[in-house]
Amino acid sequence: MEHASRGIAAVAAQVAPPEKTVHVLCGPGNNGGDGYGAARFLSGCGFDVQAWRCAPREPAQGDAGVEFRLLSAELEVLDAFTAPQRLLEALQGASGLVVDALFGVGLTRPLEAPYAPWIEALNAANVLRLAVDVPSGLDSDTGEALPLCVRAHVTATMAAPKLGLAANPAAAGHVVEIDIGLPSALHRPYLRESGT
């Protein structure tokens, strides 16, 4: 997760509009953990960062819990879940970069409140949208979008590109591969199968 977070932060630093706030929306799973880590690296590099916990509770265990605690020691993590309107207003007034670290691979259910209004506001905002691994709401295998799906300008995907990103470039935007240190023997066969 440290490798993923550092890679995401590097991509964000390259595309973030200068002197604008970077909002990082962190969901309940490991995708959110990647977001917490990226927010920490970006803040450490001098970016104005607002990290949002978009989950019912703080992650307590695993890598996501570690990343949350490390970030919380350096930066206030804003609680969007108990005050969803606060994030909605922030998105409506945003003008910089928003990092979508809400949901990664494996999401199959339609998104409801509070996520649905947030994604609608994010897609409508005059911001650059960077998705972590896959845009929230996009099937990583087929590219099929749920009724609500983040429309990313850039997707920072881990280890190797997912088939769904190539199948739906309108949602994925420009795809950047992040090397997270996996041995090449593990993912080389999948790269051959996908033709990359």
Taking the whole predicted model, whether its pTM rises above 0.85 is answered as: yes
Residue 97 CB neighbour total at 10 angstroms:
24
pLDDT tens digits along 9-43: 999 999 999 999 999 999 999 999 999 999 999 99
| Reported confidence tier of residue 179, pLDDT bands at 50, 70, 90 | confident
Cα–Cα distance, 11 to 121 (Å, whole number): 23
Percent of the chain topping pLDDT 90 = 79
Which amino acid, one-letter code, is at 28?
A: P
Taking Cα atoms as reference points, which of 161, 163, 165, 162 lies closest to residue 150?
A: 165
| Reported confidence tier of residue 185, pLDDT bands at 50, 70, 90 | low
**Got the DSSP string for 130-187?**
EEESS-TTB-TTT-PBPSS----SEEEEESS--HHHHH-HHHH-EEEEE-----HHHH
